[in-house]
Amino acid sequence: MDYKDLADLIFPEAKPISYYEEKYPERNLPEGAMVVRFAPSPTGYVHIGGLYQSIIGRTLANQTKGVFILRIEDTDQKRQIENGVVQIVDALKDFNIEFDEGMINETEEKGNYGPYKQSARKDIYQAYAKYLLEQGKAYPCFATPEELEEMRAKQEAAKLRTGYYGVWAKYRNLPVEEAIKKIKNGEKYIIRFKSMGNEERKIKHHDVIKGNIDFPENDQDIVIIKGDGLPTYHFAHAVDDHLMRVTHVIRSDEWVSSIPLHLELFRALGFKAPKYAHTAPIMKDDNGKKRKISKRKDPEAAVSYYHEQGIPSEAVNEYLLNIANSNFESWRRANKDKDISEFKFEINKMSVSGAIFDLIKLLDVSKNVISKYSKEKVYADALEWAKRYDEELVEMLNNKEYSLKVLGIERGNQKPRKDIAKWSDIKHCIIYMYEDKFFNSDETYDFGKISDKDEIKKILKLYKEKYFNIEDDKQTWFDKMKDLSEELGYAREVKEYKQDPEKWPGHVGDISTVLRVALTKRQNTPDLYEIMQVLGKESIEKRLEKEYK
């Protein structure tokens, strides 16, 4: 009896690998085209790091006229969640990321290199496992979890490297006859890869991002097929990325230490190894300590957080792209109106160490992104956000014609207003423009420097009766504010006042503040003249009278 008998016993149904090699031929793509994939586990929401990977993958495939694949890695059945695939697809779609191939929902997919869900590829993995078995490059291991635990304890006690390797690999050299007997006896087993590596020897590897790295060869006999018949990540990675003809494996940093193993697997299987690009993880500043951003501790680790906050996905994408290639920023400044896809992304310019996620900076990017939107776009996006998260804002925006005017204040000109960083800011910025909100709120406010009630009344009354005319153009209005100030004994110019502050009780700015607060309840607002034009005569009169009647 030989390896062949063993292999046939274990996987009697498996097809020869030539079947799959023919079924998934080399892709016919232009020179330099990159075939990349995003390969998440459907274990819950999409992590910011996943979005980061996706942006990079999508960009690279676009730039090289390559292919971007969504492969679902669901070989760990314990961790599955309902609708995991749909969640991923939808979340990424929100950020403008779509795939050329792969799963499109829980059951459907597109592309000729599928199935794109690992649980549906069991027969493929088994065929390749059988192939290794036949050559004696893999073997069944009968060790129980308890046995393995015991082994590890011994290794730790002896301060040895832990793992299933060398002399510790108990079933590595079990004669085929005995293995067959055990299997026929119904003993439980898994399939392990028989490593030919030697820890003493070093291998050199070039990572697209990290550069040259040396490490010891792998000598662990890792499991390739688990007790449930599904492959482990390592084995699935080798088989899938080969068969899907992936050219560049872009994945997170945490995998670099597996490179020796993966390379050995590719070689044993007779595959050409892909290029690897290991991206640094996104970090979080935790009281001065740097750590990987985490699902459990950090709400901003979930991509959904940005939607809830109302940060446009375009802004998140730009921010992430900037972390990926720091020259993005200067490109953006030089190309203010170009689409993000025109930026020439270079994967080898990526930073090797993880950047701390900077929400403040993101908000700044967002502010700039929003400042470029037309009022129609602001209206549409804010409304869409509000429909999910803020009923009161929906109510306000329902008055579309008026809202458009409000949102158009200081927008669309050379120096657009930049006070909105996220849709959740909007309500606070515009609420006073809405009549019922303005009059029905119990918000407290103060008039700043001029606080005497009678003085305030006097100012507003005089303004309304003598100076206010909605027809005035901006300059006239402005001059009138100065006249008003003068008539009341205030300085008509701020500069004038500053030269001799004792001479006046205040200046035109102080008077304007009184008007501003009366009309908006705020000391800080956009241009008052524009606000008044939107508010209209009646509203203004009502707001003024409220203060002195």
Partner RNA sequence: GGCCCCGUGGUCAAGCGGUUAAGACAUCGCCCUUUCACGGCGGAGACAUGGGUUCGAUUCCCGUCGGGGUCACCA
Nearer to RNA, 27 or 205 (CB): 205
Nearer to RNA, 17 or 141 (CB): 141
Q: Which stretch binds RNA (CB under 7 A): 53-61, 119-127, 211-219, 265-273?
A: 211-219
Nearer to RNA, 4 or 226 (CB): 226
Q: Which stretch binds RNA (CB under 7 A): 6-14, 69-77, 109-117, 131-139?
A: 69-77
Check: CB of residue 50 under 8 Å from CB of residue 89: no
115-154: which residues touch RNA (CB under 7 A)?
143-145, 148, 152
- Radius of gyration of the chain, Cα coordinates, nearest whole angstrom: 33
Q: Which stretch binds RNA (CB under 7 A): 121-129, 256-264, 458-466, 538-546?
A: 256-264
415 binds RNA (CB under 7 A): yes
Beta carbon of residue 30, minimum distance to RNA (angstroms, whole number): 29
Beta carbon of residue 177, minimum distance to RNA (angstroms, whole number): 21
Check: CB of residue 133 under 8 Å from CB of residue 6: yes
Nearer to RNA, 333 or 549 (CB): 333
End-to-end CA distance of the chain: 106
413 binds RNA (CB under 7 A): no
Beta carbon of residue 326, minimum distance to RNA (angstroms, whole number): 4
428 binds RNA (CB under 7 A): no
**Among 86, 174, 208, 283, contact with RNA (rule: CB under 7 A):** 283
Beta carbon of residue 510, minimum distance to RNA (angstroms, whole number): 9
Q: Which stretch binds RNA (CB under 7 A): 68-76, 335-343, 373-381, 535-543?
A: 68-76
Q: Sketch the per residue contact string, 513 through 542, with RNA: x for CB under 7 A, - otherwise.
A: x--x------xxxxxxx-------------
Q: Which stretch binds RNA (CB under 7 A): 54-62, 175-183, 214-222, 435-443?
A: 214-222
Query: Taken in order 457, 463, 464, 466, is the CA torsion positive or negative?
Result: positive
Amino acid letter, residue 453:
K
Binding residues for RNA, rule CB under 7 A, total 88
Calpha distance 110→99 (Å, rounded): 9
Q: Sketch the per residue contact string, 81 through 120, with RNA: x for CB under 7 A, - otherwise.
A: ----------------------------------------
344-383: which residues touch RNA (CB under 7 A)?
349, 351-356, 358, 360-361, 364
**Among 26, 214, 342, 500, contact with RNA (rule: CB under 7 A):** 214
Beta carbon of residue 85, minimum distance to RNA (angstroms, whole number): 13
Beta carbon of residue 22, minimum distance to RNA (angstroms, whole number): 27
Tell me the residue length of the chain.
549
**Among 5, 73, 94, 455, contact with RNA (rule: CB under 7 A):** 73
Check: CB of residue 100 under 8 Å from CB of residue 111: yes
Calpha distance 194→191 (Å, rounded): 9
- Burial (CB < 10 A; 0-12, 13-18, 19+), residue 47, is buried
Calpha distance 88→296 (Å, rounded): 18
Residues 6+ apart with CB under 8 A from 351: 280, 323, 326
Check: CB of residue 311 under 8 Å from CB of residue 357: no
Q: Which stretch binds RNA (CB under 7 A): 166-174, 287-295, 392-400, 540-548?
A: 287-295
Check: CB of residue 359 under 8 Å from CB of residue 300: yes
Nearer to RNA, 440 or 475 (CB): 475
**Among 20, 68, 99, 164, contact with RNA (rule: CB under 7 A):** 164
Nearer to RNA, 4 or 375 (CB): 375
Beta carbon of residue 41, minimum distance to RNA (angstroms, whole number): 4
Measuring CA to CA, which residue among 316, 299, 311, 259 is closest to residue 54? 316
Calpha distance 59→407 (Å, rounded): 33
410 binds RNA (CB under 7 A): yes
Q: Which stretch binds RNA (CB under 7 A): 53-61, 300-308, 318-326, 455-463?
A: 318-326
In this structure, what token pair is assigned to residue 121? 């590829």
Beta carbon of residue 25, minimum distance to RNA (angstroms, whole number): 26
Measuring CA to CA, which residue among 242, 233, 183, 263 is closest to residue 17? 242
461-500: which residues touch RNA (CB under 7 A)?
474-475, 477-478, 481, 493-495
Query: What is 107-146 written as a DSSP string?
Result: S-EESSS---BGGGGHHHHHHHHHHHHHTTSEEEE---HH
167-196: which residues touch RNA (CB under 7 A)?
188, 190
Beta carbon of residue 167, minimum distance to RNA (angstroms, whole number): 16
Helix ranges (H only) for 390-491 are 391-397, 400-407, 423-430, 435-439, 453-462, 474-487
Calpha distance 110→195 (Å, rounded): 36
Measuring CA to CA, which residue among 244, 216, 212 is closest to residue 101? 244
Calpha distance 121→405 (Å, rounded): 56
**Among 18, 330, 476, 499, contact with RNA (rule: CB under 7 A):** 330
Check: CB of residue 210 under 8 Å from CB of residue 204: no
Beta carbon of residue 257, minimum distance to RNA (angstroms, whole number): 4
